[in-house]
Structure 1
C-alpha cells in the first residue's frame, strides 16, 4: 500500500491558507525583482525619504518576468528539497508523489510551471476545478507531475 493511500489528501481550504501565507514570500520576491532590475537598469533613486524604484516599459516587464521565475523557483525548490513551502510547513501539509515518495526536481518544476495555468482565468479557478474533480484533490499541475498534497 502506497503512503498516499493512507494519507489525507488536502483540499481547497487548507491549501488556500498555505498559499495565502506564501503570498508574503511572493511580496518579498517582488521587492527583490524590482530592486535588482532597478539597480541593473539604473532606475533606483535615493534621497532623504528613502529608496525609490520606478519601472515601466521593458524594465517593468523584465522585473515581472524575474518575479515569476523567482516565485516558481521558490515553490519548486522548496517542494523538491523539503516537500513543502513555508506556507505548507506552517499548516502541516506537504507535496508527495502519488506513490508517497518525495517529489523529484522535475515533478516539482512541472507542478509549479503548470501553476500558471491553474491560476486561470483568475483566482485559481482551473486549479480549484481540478481539485474538485479529482479523487486525490489534484490540481492540473499535480496531475501532470504525478504529485498530490497530503497532511504531514
Structure 2
C-alpha cells in the first residue's frame, strides 16, 4: 500500500483534527497543572471545585509537563495507530510517504517540531508550510518523513 493510492490532506481537514485534539490538550493541561499542584501543595479544594494557582518554578514545571505529555500523546498514537483522536474522528492518518506506518523516531520528530509549526500563533508556520508544499507536508512531516492521508 503506498500513499500514492491515498489522498494527501491539506490544511482544512487537518485543522479540524487539530481542533478536536485541542480538547484533549486542554484536558492534558488540567491534569498536568493539577499534578504539579498536588506535588507542590498548591492544589486546593474549594466550594466551587479544585483550584491550582501555580507561579514561578511550579508554573514552569506544569507547562513543561503538559508539553511533554501532549507530545507523547501525539507521538505514541500516531506511531502505534497512525492517528490521534482528532484524526480518527475525521478519518485521516499519518503514514510514511510509501504508505507504511511511521517509525517511533519519525513520529517523535514530527511532534517535537509541532512546537515550531505552532509559531508564531495558531499553527501559522504549519499552515503556511502545508499550503505552499506540493506534497501537503508541514515542517514536522518533512523532518519526520511522514504524510497525512485519507485512507
**Coordinate RMSD, CA, aligned:** 1.0
Report the equivalent of 1:68.
Answer: 67
Report the equivalent of 2:45.
Answer: 46
Q: CA deviation at 1:51?
A: 1.8
1:11-38 Cα distance to aligned partner (Å, 9 max, x none): 1000000000001100110011011000
Q: CA deviation at 1:133?
A: 2.0
1:67-90 Cα distance to aligned partner (Å, 9 max, x none): 000111000000001100000000
Task: Determine helix, strand or coil for the equivalent of 2:122.
Answer: coil
Structure 1: which 4+ aligned runs deviate by more than 3 Å?
A: none
Report the equivalent of 1:106.
Answer: 105
Unaligned runs of 5+ in 2: none
2:118 equivalent to 1:125: no
Report the equivalent of 2:140.
Answer: 141
Report the equivalent of 2:36.
Answer: 37
Q: CA deviation at 1:50?
A: 2.4
Q: Distance in 1 between matches of 2:7 and 2:107?
A: 20
Report the equivalent of 1:85.
Answer: 84
TM-score by length of 2: 0.96
Report the equivalent of 2:6.
Answer: 7
Aligned residue-pair number: 151
Unaligned runs of 5+ in 1: none
Return 125-134 or 101-110, whichever deviates more.
125-134
